[in-house]
């Protein structure tokens, strides 16, 4: 992973651009692990090389219960946890809701 990130860094520097890299991570063992930036395989290379990390995760059964969201509605919600931000102030974790009209569109929502 360190070699991959070195290559991506070179590409970005040579082209004056930002590269967004997405990576699948295993499901967390608990809700407490959802915001951890270290869930990715090869995570030391990820954490060392990246400047901004966003974790996206579906709503768990226990989160749905706590927030009053029915099990059949949980699939519409995604938790966005900004776990690393080197060049700006911290961004609070927030819930996103999938659009029922436009596939792939996410909007922030308030859940109490």
Backbone angles phi, psi at 44, to 5 degrees: -60, -40
Q: Could you tell me which residues come within 8 angstroms of residue 88 by beta carbon, excluding any fewer than 6 positions away?
A: none
Using one digit for the tens of pLDDT, what is the confidence trace for 10-28? 999 999 999 998 877 766 5
Kindly give, in sequence order, each residue whose CB lies less than 8 Å from that of residue 7, ignoring residues fewer than 6 positions away. Answer: none
Do 65 and 43 belong to one domain?
Answer: no
With a pLDDT cut of 70, the percent of the chain lying above it is 84
Domain of residue 77, residue span? 51-112
pTM: 0.73
The pLDDT value given to residue 69:
95
Give the C-alpha separation, 7 to 1, whole Å. 10
pLDDT band at 1 (very low <50, low <70, confident <90, very high): confident
Judge if 71 and 105 occupy the same domain.
Answer: yes
pLDDT over 60 (residue 40): no
- CB-CB contact of 53 with 82 (8 Å): yes
Q: Would you say residue 69 lies in a domain?
A: yes
């Amino acid at each position: 992973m360190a070699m991959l990130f070195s290559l991506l860094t070179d590409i970005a520097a040579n082209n004056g651009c930002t590269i967004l890299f997405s990576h699948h991570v295993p499901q967390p063992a608990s809700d407490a692990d959802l915001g951890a930036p270290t869930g990715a395989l090869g995570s030391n290379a990820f954490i060392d090389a990246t400047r901004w990390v966003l974790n996206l995760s579906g709503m768990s059964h226990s989160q749905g219960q706590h927030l009053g969201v029915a099990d059949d509605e949980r699939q519409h919600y995604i938790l966005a946890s900004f776990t690393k931000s080197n060049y700006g102030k911290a961004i609070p974790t927030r819930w996103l809701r999938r659009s029922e009209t436009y596939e792939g569109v996410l909007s922030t929502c308030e859940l109490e």
